[in-house]
Structure 1
């Protein structure tokens, strides 16, 4: 089916204004769009999280974007670096469609690192939406407004990582107030990037415990399921299991796992070469995005 790709500008009284955004206050006067406007009215899943996300947060975003696309559900994000970009790119790579809600003019690419997903949306694989005028550069006040639109447009919302306070956490709170279904990926109690998601779970957000649980939640909310089987859960070695819980130095790992420090260092070097772990600037090791998404890895 041919998609109609164009730019559009309309006010609140126009029939093209989404009914789900009628709750917005009077400061939201006009909407500007680029891409396939029809996508704006499809069932959608917002996937949001930290700009400076950990490998864990990025991996959850990629998983969620892929599942949504394979289920025929549009992915909504702010197009920012980190989780927003990871979710949008994963959805596009899986053949899905995206909505980017911009805090700038709809014709302004921000950040530049997300240019490929902006281009894909503009070309008809999605739609870029903004309530800021054409050509408007980034303004601090515009991003909380953008977050309100994300919360309003989506049917359900996933938070992969969020600090407190943060724009991500406030977006999830708005979604809660609008009676949207909110999911959260639990994280380490030692990670500042997971304080918001863990708090959301305390506030009764649905817990994403694994890929199957996320697919189940999406199936219930949207009445759709993937045609592709999710397969078995990843099998990880003890070292990777420990690093998933919390980044650690080699000596900490050796003590925790009761293993020889040289064995730990050799194994970490092997895993780093396979891109299953990454060394952080402070000398600790963290599980990588690839290890979270890998189906198999070797026990240590």
Structure 2
């Protein structure tokens, strides 16, 4: 099939995307009802599509198609994914307002790897930087890809920490992929692709960054992911928009708390007040995702169950107070050894000391 063929499969999708006043929800509904029949006037008439909308849907899009195909040919690993493409991310495709088209550069199969969105301030504090660098590696080791927006601050730090940990990371642009923003992260974007990640956007590749696109791209960041981790955010922060999208989409929301004197922590503290999961360590994220999807259960097992300390002892500590001598009798070990190990486990957060003995902590 030639790139100028009048029946190119991308043409109906471009017609929907170019139709003025037609958002992604209504456009997807039309596609589900009509599919390729969008290019047939008789089918549009049968479905009751207005004459004005028919004119827009039947307008020629060959010039736009040619430009897009030229972009695809301009470099390796460039893809245009429709909502029917097998590589279109499944998690995102479940949303009614998912983009009709995704422009991707890099490993398109990475879009369906279990992902955690990590967002935060463009001007993080020293503590915010430290938290990002400390929390990302164990999340990557557990099997999560890290998704963010390539912005200055926490976004860039999250991508860098994931790469340094040998993981996969994905960046969602608020501009076209040929217009990297900010420009100083162009090298980081290239490294991200080289190491098995992907860049993606719903904007045409040549579109410059525009203010209204960035809140819209936040719904993609959260929609791709199992949950959103807000590292550090002020009271009025774009990161909180991503968190709101996550809640609307049924995703988990996590936040790292901060001192009340730190204005960059106010947004995170507010999220925790409103029900976001407080995160002190990576396992706080992993244990919450364990019940969230089949993929996350596997992640949780990799991160914790394979490395349980003293599993024979832990198996005999109940969720209600269990006396040390009872634990020792159950696991057939000397009481003094059991007491020593219980102290170690309490310091590591696996058990808690309570009146009457010990109980299993949530971590275990």
TM-score under structure 2 normalisation?
A: 0.57
Q: Residues 39-54 of structure 1 correspond to what in structure 2 (within 5 A)?
A: 39-54=110-125
Structure that is richer in helix per residue: 2
156 and 109 in structure 1: CA distance in 2 versus 1, 3 angstrom threshold = same
**Hey, what does 1:60 align to over in structure 2?**
131
Shift of 1:216: 4.3
Q: Residues 18-29 of structure 1 correspond to what in structure 2 (within 5 A)?
A: 18-22=89-93, 23-25=95-97, 28-29=99-100
Q: Does the aligned pair in 2 maintain the 1:67–1:215 contact within 8 Å?
A: no
* Higher-RCO chain (CA-CA 8 Å, sequence separation at least 6): 1
Matches of 2:243 and 2:156, distance apart in 1: 18
218 and 56 in structure 1: CA distance in 2 versus 1, 3 angstrom threshold = farther
Shift of 1:17: 2.9
Q: Does the aligned pair in 2 maintain the 1:69–1:92 contact within 8 Å?
A: no
| Count of paired positions | 226
Which is higher, the Rg of structure 1 or of structure 2? 2
Q: Among 263, 278, 281, which residue is 1:207 paired with?
A: 278
41 and 6 in structure 1: CA distance in 2 versus 1, 3 angstrom threshold = same
Q: Among 78, 82, 89, which residue is 2:160 paired with?
A: 89
Matches of 2:155 and 2:291, distance apart in 1: 24
Matches of 2:262 and 2:181, distance apart in 1: 28
Shift of 1:107: 2.8
25 and 149 in structure 1: CA distance in 2 versus 1, 3 angstrom threshold = same
**Hey, what does 2:242 align to over in structure 1?**
171
Matches of 2:144 and 2:279, distance apart in 1: 18
**Hey, what does 1:9 align to over in structure 2?**
80
**Hey, what does 2:9 align to over in structure 1?**
none
Matches of 1:125 and 1:65, distance apart in 2: 17
**Hey, what does 2:203 align to over in structure 1?**
132
Q: Among 210, 216, 225, which residue is 1:145 paired with?
A: 216
**Hey, what does 1:273 align to over in structure 2?**
none
Q: Among 34, 41, 49, which residue is 2:105 paired with?
A: 34
Q: Does the aligned pair in 2 maintain the 1:47–1:64 contact within 8 Å?
A: no
**Hey, what does 1:293 align to over in structure 2?**
none
Matches of 1:78 and 1:140, distance apart in 2: 14
Matches of 1:182 and 1:175, distance apart in 2: 7
Q: Does the aligned pair in 1 maintain the 2:135–2:281 contact within 8 Å?
A: no
Report the aligned-residue RMSD. 2.5
Alpha-carbon displacement from aligned partner over 1:42-71 (angstroms, at most 9, x marks no partner): 100111001111111122222232122111
